[in-house]
């Protein structure tokens, strides 16, 4: 969404326009829902969290400061809303994984070419995965990630480096192993 | 896998992960808002401003309270038990005390002059002119 348009919608929503807030929800709901899903929530929990997040955003819209992107503010609320729930799904939901990843594509690429994110979800600790996701999938800067996750920027940078390194090492190791070993 | 390949793959694969939020969820939120749940607070005064206002009020209250305190008066009973080493007195009390001290000093000087005069006169008339 264009920043000027979003700013105008926020201003109107602050003055009580539900239509403006509905437009904001429409613009952010899918990515917010995906963010909660990849963090390990079940589908039902993710819907509840997104709903509670939007309600909290409406309630505290006056407290939003434009220092951060609106979506960053929403992610921060969603992370807090999710803190009291079980987020222990180690695998990404089936609905999320791209059905285009198939054996034909893998054969044409000449290598094992499954989506890297489900692999990362299995291999990395939950916090590390969250940092990696926000940085690469959501294009957040380290300061924004620190804000969303309630951590320091230094922790985010170190975790980003470690998670990249570990993921690369584990994927390389898996690529060199025979197929029957990988499948175990 | 080098870092560039990994980053490229992370970006590209993330684009292929899509999720669509059920539309009824947005309608449900709008419904709850319409029914008065989660109404914007319209609170224009932030917590720091409230804290500042509270501090200013407390300061003003303490100032007024201190101004209304009666001034300390020198107590004679305190002097008797030697507890009044540095008495706190009001301005008028201090002026009165200094005036009394000056009068006392004048009186002592006058007494001393009288004694000297008396001694001088006595010495003059007691002197034997024939001796």
Give the CATH number, domain containing residue A7. Answer: 1.10.1740.10
pLDDT score, position B50: 87
What is the spatial distance between Cα A39 and Cα B26, in angstroms, rounded to a whole number? Answer: 21
**Residues A176, A119 share a domain:** yes
**Count of domains observed in chain A:** 2
Domain end, chosen from A82, A100, A125, is at: A82
Tell me, yes or no, whether A72 lies in a domain: yes
**Residues A77, A24 share a domain:** yes
Tell me, yes or no, whether A168 lies in a domain: yes
Q: Which residues contact A119 (CB under 8 A, 6 or more apart)?
A: A167, A170, A171
**pLDDT bracket for residue B128 (50, 70, 90):** low
CB contact under 8 A, B13 and A38: no
Give the CATH number, domain containing residue A137. Answer: 1.10.10.10
Domain end, chosen from A31, A66, A82, is at: A82
Tell me, yes or no, whether A7 lies in a domain: yes
User: Domain coordinates of chain B in residue numbers?
Assistant: 88-130
Name every chain A residue with its beta carbon within 8 A of the beta carbon of B31. none
Tell me: the pLDDT tens digits for A128-138? 999 999 999 99
Alpha-carbon gap: A89 to the closest alpha carbon of chain B (Å): 16
**Residues A139, A77 share a domain:** no
What is the spatial distance between Cα A108 and Cα A103, in angstroms, rounded to a whole number? Answer: 8
Tell me: the pLDDT tens digits for B63-103? 888 887 766 555 555 555 555 555 555 667 777 888 899 99
The 10 Å Cβ neighbour count of residue A37 is 24
pLDDT score, position A107: 45
Print the domain residue range for A37: 3-82
The 10 Å Cβ neighbour count of residue A156 is 25
Tell me: the pLDDT tens digits for A62-102? 889 888 899 999 999 999 998 877 776 667 777 676 655 54
Tell me: the pLDDT tens digits for A2-57? 888 899 999 999 888 899 999 999 999 999 999 998 888 888 889 999 999 999 99
Secondary structure of chain A as H, E, C letters: CCHHHHHHHHHHHHCCCHHHHHHHHHHHHHHHHHHHHHCCCCHHHHHHHHHHHHHHHHHCHHHCCCCCCHHHHHHHHHHHHHCCCCCCCCCCCCCCCCCCCCHHHHHHHCCCCCCHHHHHHHHCCHHHHHHHHHHHHCCCCHHHHHHHHCCCHHHHHHHHHHHHHHHHHHHHHHHHCCHHHHCC
CB-CB: which of B3, B16, B41 is closest to A98?
B16
Tell me, yes or no, whether A163 lies in a domain: yes
Domain end, chosen from A82, A100, A129, is at: A82
Tell me, yes or no, whether A122 lies in a domain: yes
- Single out the residue of B31, B14, B66 nearest to residue A35, CA to CA: B14
Tell me, yes or no, whether A88 lies in a domain: no
DSSP string, B104-130: HHHHHHHHHHHHHHHHHHHHHHHS-TT
């Amino acid at each position: 969404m264009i920043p000027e348009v979003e700013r105008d919608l926020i201003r109107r929503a602050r003055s009580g326009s539900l239509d403006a807030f509905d437009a904001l929800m429409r613009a952010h709901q899918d990515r917010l829902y995906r963010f909660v899903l990849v963090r390990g929530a079940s589908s039902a929990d993710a819907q509840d969290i997104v709903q509670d997040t939007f309600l909290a955003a409406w309630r505290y819209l006056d407290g939003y400061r434009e220092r951060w992107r609106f979506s960053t503010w929403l992610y921060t609320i969603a992370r807090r809303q999710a803190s009291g729930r079980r987020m222990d799904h180690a695998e990404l939901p089936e609905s999320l994984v791209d059905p285009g990843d198939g054996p034909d594509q893998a054969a044409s690429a000449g290598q094992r070419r499954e989506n890297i994110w489900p692999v990362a979800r299995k291999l990395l600790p939950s916090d590390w995965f969250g940092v990696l996701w926000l940085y690469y999938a959501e294009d957040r800067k380290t300061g924004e990630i620190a804000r969303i996750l309630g951590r320091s920027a230094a922790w985010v940078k170190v975790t980003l480096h470690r998670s990249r390194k570990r993921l690369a090492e584990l994927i390389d190791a898996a690529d060199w192993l025979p197929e029957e070993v990988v499948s175990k | 896998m080098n870092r560039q390949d990994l980053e490229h793959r992370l970006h590209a694969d993330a684009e292929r992960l899509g999720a669509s939020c059920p539309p009824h969820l947005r309608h449900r939120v709008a419904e709850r808002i319409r029914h008065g749940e989660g109404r914007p607070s319209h609170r224009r005064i932030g917590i720091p401003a409230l804290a500042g206002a509270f501090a200013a009020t407390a300061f003003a209250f303490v100032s007024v309270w201190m101004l209304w305190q009666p001034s300390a008066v020198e107590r004679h009973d305190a002097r008797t038990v030697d507890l009044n080493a540095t008495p706190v007195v009001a301005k008028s009390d201090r002026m009165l005390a200094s005036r009394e001290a000056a009068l006392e000093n004048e009186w002592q000087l006058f007494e001393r002059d009288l004694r000297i005069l008396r001694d001088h006169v006595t010495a003059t008339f007691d002197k034997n002119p024939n001796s």
